[in-house]
A and B are shown apart, each in its own frame.
Chain A
Amino acid sequence: MVMASVTTLASHLTSTFTYAPEFCRLSQSSHSSQRPCTRKSVSGTISASIDLKPPPYALDALEPHMSKETLEYHWGKHHRGYVNNLNKQIEGTELDKMSLESIILASHNKGDILPAFNNAAQVWNHEFFWESMKPGGGGKPSGELLELINRDFGSFEALIQEFKLAATTQFGSGWAWLVYDIEDKKLVVLKSSNAINPLVLGSYPLLTLDVWEHAYYLDFKNLRPDYISTFLDKLVSWDAVSSRLEAAKASIEGK
């Protein structure tokens, strides 16, 4: 499951994003010869294509560090809500049937975001987040990932410190990320607000931590630093990060 999501990411990076609006244009486009996209009136079930992907473990598998109740609400209501709302928004438009990453890039619209962006990006972010954790996670990375961490941060502890700082100081809702910067070819820590993710910045995400309050409120209330420490000590899946790093390097070399 981790490899599957990683290869779709890789594919968007190896080809510049182009799409041919065959049926209709989004209102901002300049192809005035095409009719504007209008939603077809639909009754009954929604058939648009984005799925609610379950985490790669049972909802109680991360106990006691992340409770089953949190997973039930966070995945079962919040993440599901984003998926459903996204499908409602893209139904019958040209974003329908596109891959999730393509929807994100199209609706990001170089910063002038279209309505589908928040939902699409949040769907992607949450899938990525579930896969960034595993039961019995934590520990230290190894191999090439650890080498790069030592090279770019000085030490594993320095990375942890930086990541904790990013996650703690992200004011309001948002995410903390470890990404592989494609231009500089190094690991970087980022924080972003609301739904923004590194895909729209041209970086290759490797790890994320959700610091929206809904992610930790049931388990930690306002104690975000405790949540961050628990994530790094007990939940983070360095295996997933390593695989993503391999895929990132492979896709860059393949260019």
Chain B
Amino acid sequence: MSWSSSNYLCLSSSSSVTRFSRCKSPCESEGQRGKCHDLNRPTNISAYNSLKPPSFKLDKGQRRNDHALKKPRNISAYYSLKPPPYKFDALEPYMSKRTLEVHWGEHHRGYVESLNKYLGKDDILYGYTLDELIRVTYNNGNPLPEYNVAAQVWNHDFFWESMQPGGGNLPILGLLEQIEKDFGSFSNFREEFIETALTLFGSGWVWLVLKRNEKRLAIATTTNAVTPLVWDDIPLLSLDMWEHAYYLDYKNDKARYVNVFMDHLVSWNAALARMARAQSFVNLGEPKIPVA
């Protein structure tokens, strides 16, 4: 088939490679969403939009001198961009304000906007909560095009909440007990977490999860936008190992980033609260049956 008779670009993927070629038929009849691009229409370039003014009022620490903020905007959105539960400079010097501004303000915001754009075009997926949307679009391992952006929105929300100013130190109470039970000791866990993060190749995330079936804690890694939600485990903590998460502060020095995260940023309070909530679904203990 000669190039000249098709203005449609078809993608065929196998494992980690995608080939581009001209489609044999127009996109509407190709039947595979996201696998056919109409070269005459502008591309939905996901997650790489430049900074647009925020759709909510920022507090003093985050106010921007952006003249566009004053323009009235017709905002229609399905999912919102949630700010981190602390100011942008609250994690200094371990994670700089600049990183928060770019990571949250551009990357995370870009994912939210792309997701809303997808849903604006075709809202067959309208009405789900974000968790449900992720499971649905993951489609049992054959993800729909919305999956990546939806999951990245959720992942980043979760990540900001996995950190706190004055974080680090040790977990307490039930979480510490559970870690000691499942890893031997906290320092074993810490070592394993750090090593897992450093041996992850490419972009991805490292998680502390509560495994539903095995009723124990475990460390998991995922690539790109995958999250333990899709195989029904319960995440308690995450660490973003995409290069954009640490490049401005640490450049290629991943080891320092991961160590700093464990020592100064990780929010054990958040992990403890998540584990407490998870225990509504997973019974971690032996039932204490009173003796008559």
Contacts and interface: CB of A to CB of B under 8 A. Distances in A.
Given A162-B9, A213-B203, A222-B106, A171 B18 contact: no
Interface in A182-226: 188-196, 198, 201, 212-214, 217-218, 221-225
Given A172-B224, A188-B20, A218 B247 contact: yes
A162 to B, nearest CB: 5
A192 B13 CA distance: 9
B202 A168 contact: no
Contact of B251 (A77, A111, A172, A212): A77
A165 B202 contact: no
A151 B37 CA distance: 20
B252 A222 contact: no
Contacts of A142: none
Contacts, number: 107
Interface in B16-46: 16-21, 37, 39, 43, 45-46
8 contacts: A78-B252, A118-B201, A151-B3, A168-B43, A189-B20, A196-B17, A213-B243, A221-B244
A192 B20 contact: no
B284 to A, nearest CB: 34
B48 interface: yes
Contact of A201 (B17, B43, B252): B17
Given A188-B21, A201-B17, A223 B3 contact: no
B17 A191 contact: yes
B17 A165 contact: no
Interface residues of B, number: 36
B50 interface: yes
Given A195-B201, A213-B247, A154 B20 contact: no
A231 interface: no
A85 B87 CA distance: 39
Contacts of A212: 202, 243
Given A78-B252, A190-B17, A169 B45 contact: yes
Interface in B183-236: 201-204, 223-225
Interface of B: 3-4, 9, 15-21, 37, 39, 43, 45-46, 48, 50, 102, 106-107, 110, 148, 201-204, 223-225, 242-244, 247-248, 251-252
Nearest to A201: B17
Nearest to A155: B3
**For A151, A174, A212, which residue has the most chain B Cβ atoms within 10 angstroms?**
A174
A161 interface: yes
Given A162-B20, A173-B243, A217-B247, A168 B107 contact: no
A125 B285 CA distance: 51
A166 interface: yes
A152 B20 contact: no
Given A171-B225, A221-B106, A225-B45, A194 B243 contact: no
A81 interface: yes
Contacts of A188: 19-21
B172 to A, nearest CB: 35
